[in-house]
Amino acid sequence: MIIGGGGYLRSLNYPALKSLLSRIEALDQPIVVYVRSWEMDATQPRMRDTRLSEFRHYVNLNKTADRLHQLLADFQFGPIREVVLPIREQVRNTSVQAVPDSVTGNHLNGSPQLTIV
């Protein structure tokens, strides 16, 4: 499952974004696109920060709504549960074996755990 949106939706030009998403779609991979509500408000007050942070936060806010509408016209979307539920069932039905934790080396039994490195 590919997840993207927000900054990518705003910073990439639309033809490049459409091309990338079309390639992923051709592989029959689900794509999750998200937009935060503040990304739809081009008139929001500007806060001072580093140039990089300001760029990431404010670039193309005035284009977000149009790009979202274009995505909705160019691609087929559905509820996220259609993607998540099959993954959830696959995880539930997979037998869990004792495996070493990648950080501690301890063997884990029971529910899988997520280690973020």
Expressed as residue numbers, the domain containing 64 is: 2-77
Examine residue 31 and state whether it is found in any structural domain, yes or no: yes
Q: Does any domain span residue 116?
A: no
Q: Which two tokens stand for residue 56?
A: 């990431």
In total, how many domains does the chain have?
A: 1
Q: With respect to residue 70, please indicate whether it lies within any of the assigned structural domains.
A: yes
Query: Can you give the pLDDT of all 117 residues of the chain as single tens digits?
Result: 666 778 888 888 899 999 999 998 899 888 888 889 899 898 999 889 999 998 888 899 999 999 999 999 999 888 888 888 888 888 888 755 555 666 666 655 555 554 444
Q: How far, in Å, CA of 13 to CA of 49, rounded? A: 24
Cα–Cα distance measured from residue 117 to residue 102, given in angstroms and rounded to the nearest whole number: 9
User: Which residue in the block uniquely carries the two structure tokens 């899988």?
Assistant: 112
Q: Which two tokens stand for residue 24?
A: 């992923």
Alpha helices in 1-117 (DSSP H): 7-11, 14-26, 51-58, 64-74, 81-93
- Flag whether 33 is in a domain: yes
Q: Which sign does the torsion angle of CA 20, 21, 24, 26 carry?
A: negative
The reply to whether 85 falls in a domain is no
